[in-house]
Every structure is written in C-alpha cells, then in structure tokens.
Structure 1
C-alpha cells in the first residue's frame, strides 16, 4: 500500500490550500444542513398545517437555510484550523 502524500515517482504531493479546505468544509456542511433541514422542515410544515405547494416550498426553504447556515459554520471552523 502506498504511503499517503507520496507519488509513484517519489515526489511529494501538494497539500490543498486553506481556501480549498474551506470550500470542501462548506460543501460538506451544506449537505449535512440540507439533510437535517428536510425532516425538521417537513415536521414543522405539517404541524403548521401546510399542504401541497406550501408544504414543498416550506421544506425547500428550511433545507436551504439549514444548508447555508451549517455550511457557513463548517467553512469558518475549517478556516480556523488552517
């Protein structure tokens, strides 16, 4: 098994930049936030009595808000660790 960080020719691989790590952190956080926003938004919309188009719009809005919020905090946390 090859050693991490070493290419087949023996040279060192370049580590991702801090900006690339922050983008990855935002992407992962966005996905997690959207996944958690779906059940929370769905239950909240059903509890409020939304049906049909209103239900879908509320769930989508909650998913986007959760994804953006969690993605931002993950990017900030990743930036602190750089």
Structure 2
C-alpha cells in the first residue's frame, strides 16, 4: 500500500494565508460563543423582540463572530510575522553576544557618546 503524500513538512512554519485562516476560525468560534452568551442574556432580560427568538439570537452570534474573526485574523498575522526563520533566530541568539551591559559598561558607553557629541557641537557653539 503506497504512503499518502505529505501534507506539510515537519518544522515548516505556516504561511501567512494559513495564519489568517487559523485566526479567523478561532475568532469565529470565540465570537459565536460570546454572541450566544450575550444574545441569550439580552433576550432573557429584554424579551424576544418583533423578529423572534432565533433571528435575534442569530444576529447577536453572527455579528460577534464576524467581529472577533476579523480582529483575530489580522492579529494572528501581525503577531506571528517574522523576518527570520526560527532556526535562524536560535542560531543568532547562540552566536551573538547578549546586548546586556553592566552599569559601569553602560555609563562608560554613555560618557563616550556624550564626549563624541560635544566634539561635534563645539564648532557651532564657539563660532557664534
């Protein structure tokens, strides 16, 4: 029996379109649930209204699902958009020195920058 073709390589990051769809599906599920809760509460508290129970509840659920899916789809794409692959990020973190300095190193670096800037500003101050 032949093996089925692989659907996705192991370790491969999802594409932007896959992230968008995943965020929209998650947002839709959350929105339907929240819409059901708030719609049911609104119907119990204020009455069914002229359109009926099912129409009122479905309007709450669909509007909430559309809103949540829109924002979660965009948020999942923005939040997960990386310029480097995870492998490259891990290699970079291991190979480059950390960007954390001690107080003494930071103060010496700031004094050197200030001295450099004072040298640049000095001709302007004394020429006027």
TM-score normalised by L of structure 2: 0.50
Equivalent residue pairs, number? 72
State the structure with more CA Rg. 2
Cα deviation, residue 48, structure 1: 2.0
- Structure 1, unpaired ranges of 5+: 1-10
Give the whole-Å Cα distance in 2 for the aligned partners of 1:39 and 1:58.
13
Give the whole-Å Cα distance in 1 for the aligned partners of 2:67 and 2:54.
20
Let me know the Cα RMSD of the aligned residues: 2.1
In the alignment, is residue 68 of structure 1 matched against residue 52 of structure 2?
no
Is the alpha carbon distance of 1:18 and 1:48 closer, same or farther for their aligned partners in structure 2, counting shifts above 3 Å?
Answer: same
In the alignment, is residue 39 of structure 1 matched against residue 18 of structure 2?
no
Is the alpha carbon distance of 1:67 and 1:12 closer, same or farther for their aligned partners in structure 2, counting shifts above 3 Å?
Answer: closer
Q: Is the contact between residue 46 and residue 55 of structure 1 (CA under 8 Å) also seen in structure 2?
A: no
- Structure 2, unpaired ranges of 5+: 1-8, 82-128
Give the whole-Å Cα distance in 1 for the aligned partners of 2:31 and 2:10.
35
Cα deviation, residue 13, structure 1: 4.1
TM-score normalised by L of structure 1: 0.76
Greater RCO (Cα-Cα under 8 Å, separation 6 or more): 1
